[in-house]
C-alpha cells in the first residue's frame, strides 16, 4: 500500500538567476510540484559557478569546479531530511573531465537517486560513457525525454530497461491572445513570421536559416525571421559576440535587413511563449544530429506551431506523423523549400498545427509533474519494500 506521507525531494541542478536551460527546466518543474500534496515543496541543491542570489528554494550550493564541494555536499544531503535526490544531468554543468566530479557525490550518497538526462550521446567519449554508465548503475531510475534514446541507453550505457522512464520535456501553459492580435502588438501585422529562439551559439546553424530566408524573400516579400535570444554565456566568454556579428554581417550582405530581426536579450518564459504564438513557422536549423532533447522545440510543439527543422534525433521523434517538416543538415535550399511549402499550402499548415497541438497539450507542466510525482513516490515505496524484505 502506498503511504500518504509527505515526501522530501530535492533537485541537483543549476537554478535561476543562473541563465541556463537546466535552470529554467528545474524551476518550472519544482513550481508545478509545489501544487502536489504528496510532496513537500521541492528543494534545490544549486550548481554554482559564481555568486548568485537564489530564492529560499535553494537549500545548498555545490561549487561546480571544486571537487571537495561534491564530497561535502553529499555529506550535507545525507544529514538532511532529503529522501530522494533528482540529478538534472548535462556533462557541462559538473566539474572535471566531462563532468566526472558528479561521481564523487553519488558514490557517497545514502539516499536514492533519480537522474534526468538532458543529453544522450550515441557515440560518447570513453569518459562520457563511463560517467553515464555509473550514474545508471547508482540511480534507481533514469529519466529520458525521448523514446528514441531508450535503445542507446540500453546498448551503449548498459542501463537496465526496467530503470528507464520516458517523460516529455514540460511546457508552460498560458492563455494567449490570437496570433493576429499579437502580431499587431509587436508591429508585425501582415507579415509571415518564422522564428528561432534560445541561447545563440554556432551549433544552432542560424547562418543556414538566414540564407534560407533570403531565398524565400524573393517570392514572399512579407516574410520576417526573428532570431530571439542572447549569445550563450560560455560562447560569449570564449569569443565574445563574434558569431552574432557574423550573422548580422551576413544579413547585410544578402540585403535582407527588413526580413531578419535580432532580439538580443535573455527572454522570459512569457516573452518566448508570446513570440511562439505569433509565429507562423518555428525553425531549428541545428547542426548536431545527435541532439536528444531541445527545450525550444518542446515549447514550439506545446504551442502547436508548424516546425521546420534539420533531422536531429529529437526533431525526428517530435515531428513524426506529419507534425512538421524535416530539411537536410547545412542546406539552405532544403530549409527554404520546406518554408515555402508551408506558406503556399495553408490547409496543410492548418493540419500540421492541429497534429502538433494534440501532442503539445500532453506536454503541459501539470501533466509532466504528475508523471514525475508518481515516479518519485513509486521509487521510494519500492525501496522501502525491498529494504523490508532484507532479512
Note whether 248 and 283 are same-domain residues: yes
Q: Is residue 2 part of a domain?
A: no
How far is Cα 35 from Cα 370, in angstroms, rounded to an integer? 10
How far is Cα 376 from Cα 111, in angstroms, rounded to an integer? 12
Q: Is residue 241 part of a domain?
A: yes
For the chain, the domain total comes to 2
238 by Cβ neighbours in 10 Å (0-12 / 13-18 / 19+) ranks as: exposed
pTM for the complete prediction? 0.86
Q: Is residue 4 part of a domain?
A: no
Note whether 213 and 335 are same-domain residues: yes
Note whether 145 and 130 are same-domain residues: yes
Task: Outline where the chain has alpha helix (H).
Answer: 21-33, 67-78, 102-106, 126-138, 150-155, 179-185, 206-219, 233-239, 242-253, 269-278, 295-302, 313-318, 332-344, 346-360, 365-389
Note whether 211 and 137 are same-domain residues: no
CATH (domain of 356): 3.40.50.2000
Q: Is residue 222 part of a domain?
A: yes
How far is Cα 79 from Cα 99, in angstroms, rounded to an integer? 24
| Per-residue model confidence (pLDDT) at position 199 | 86
Note whether 149 and 193 are same-domain residues: no
| Per-residue model confidence (pLDDT) at position 235 | 87
Note whether 116 and 61 are same-domain residues: yes
- The sign one gets for the Cα dihedral 61, 67, 68, 74 is positive
Note whether 273 and 219 are same-domain residues: yes
Note whether 256 and 184 are same-domain residues: yes
Is 339 in contact with 212 (CB distance < 8 Å)?
yes
Note whether 141 and 186 are same-domain residues: no
| Per-residue model confidence (pLDDT) at position 387 | 53
Is 153 in contact with 135 (CB distance < 8 Å)?
no
Note whether 99 and 228 are same-domain residues: no
* Grid coordinates belonging to 332: 539552405
How far is Cα 280 from Cα 295, in angstroms, rounded to an integer? 19
| Per-residue model confidence (pLDDT) at position 133 | 98
Note whether 164 and 224 are same-domain residues: no
Which residues of the chain, if any, have pLDDT below 70? 1-4, 385-391
Q: Is residue 38 part of a domain?
A: yes
| Per-residue model confidence (pLDDT) at position 391 | 36
Please state at what angle helix 332-344 crosses helix 346-360, rounded to 10 degrees.
100
SS3 349: helix
How far is Cα 263 from Cα 267, in angstroms, rounded to an integer? 9
Range of the domain at 246: 179-363
Q: Is residue 67 part of a domain?
A: yes
| Per-residue model confidence (pLDDT) at position 261 | 97
Q: Is residue 3 part of a domain?
A: no
Identify the DSSP state of 203. G
Note whether 45 and 70 are same-domain residues: yes
Q: Is residue 155 part of a domain?
A: yes
Is 186 in contact with 175 (CB distance < 8 Å)?
no
Amino acid at each position: 500500500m502506498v503511504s500518504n506521507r509527505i515526501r522530501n525531494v530535492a533537485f541537483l541542478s543549476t537554478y535561476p538567476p543562473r541563465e541556463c536551460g537546466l535552470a529554467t527546466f528545474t524551476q518550472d518543474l519544482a513550481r508545478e510540484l509545489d501544487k502536489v500534496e504528496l510532496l513537500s515543496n521541492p528543494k534545490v541543491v544549486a550548481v554554482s559557478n559564481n555568486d548568485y542570489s537564489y530564492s529560499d528554494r535553494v537549500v545548498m550550493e555545490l561549487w561546480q569546479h571544486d571537487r571537495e564541494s561534491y564530497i561535502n555536499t553529499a555529506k550535507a544531503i545525507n544529514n538532511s531530511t532529503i529522501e530522494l535526490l533528482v540529478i538534472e544531468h548535462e556533462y557541462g554543468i559538473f566539474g572535471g573531465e566531462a563532468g566526472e566530479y558528479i561521481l564523487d557525490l553519488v558514490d557517497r550518497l545514502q539516499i536514492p537517486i533519480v537522474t534526468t538526462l538532458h543529453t544522450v550521446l550515441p557515440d560518447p567519449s570513453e569518459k562520457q560513457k563511463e560517467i553515464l554508465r555509473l550514474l545508471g548503475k547508482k540511480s534507481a531510475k533514469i529519466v529520458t525525454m525521448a523514446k528514441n534514446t531508450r535503445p542507446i541507453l540500453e546498448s551503449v550505457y548498459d542501463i537496465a530497461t526496467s530503470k528507464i522512464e520516458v517523460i516529455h520535456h514540460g511546457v508552460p501553459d498560458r492563455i494567449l491572445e490570437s496570433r493576429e492580435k499579437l502580431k499587431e502588438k509587436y508591429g508585425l501585422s501582415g507579415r509571415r513570421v518564422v522564428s528561432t529562439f534560445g541561447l545563440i551559439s554556432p551549433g544552432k546553424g542560424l547562418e543556414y536559416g538566414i540564407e534560407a530566408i533570403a531565398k524565400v524573400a524573393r517570392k514572399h516579400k512579407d516574410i520576417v525571421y526573428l532570431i530571439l535570444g542572447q549569445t550563450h554565456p560560455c560562447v560569449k566568454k570564449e569569443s565574445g559576440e563574434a558569431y552574432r556579428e557574423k550573422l548580422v554581417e551576413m544579413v547585410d550582405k544578402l540585403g535582407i535587413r527588413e526580413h531578419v530581426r535580432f532580439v538580443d536579450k535573455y527572454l522570459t518564459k512569457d516573452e518566448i511563449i508570446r513570440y511562439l504564438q505569433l509565429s507562423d513557422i518555428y525553425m531549428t536549423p541545428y547542426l548536431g544530429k545527435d541532439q536528444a532533447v531541445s527545450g525550444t522545440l518542446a515549447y514550439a510543439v506545446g504551442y502547436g506551431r508548424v516546425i521546420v527543422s534539420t533531422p536531429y534525433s529529437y526533431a525526428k521523434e517530435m515531428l513524426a506523423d506529419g507534425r512538421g517538416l524535416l530539411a537536410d543538415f547545412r542546406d539552405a535550399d532544403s530549409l527554404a523549400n520546406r518554408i515555402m511549402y508551408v506558406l503556399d499550402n495553408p490547409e496543410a499548415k492548418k493540419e500540421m498545427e492541429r497534429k502538433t497541438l494534440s501532442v503539445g497539450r500532453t506536454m503541459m507542466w501539470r501533466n509532466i509533474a504528475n508523471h514525475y510525482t508518481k515516479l518519485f513516490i513509486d521509487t521510494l515505496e519500492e525501496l522501502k519494500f525491498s529494504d523490508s524484505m532484507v532479512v
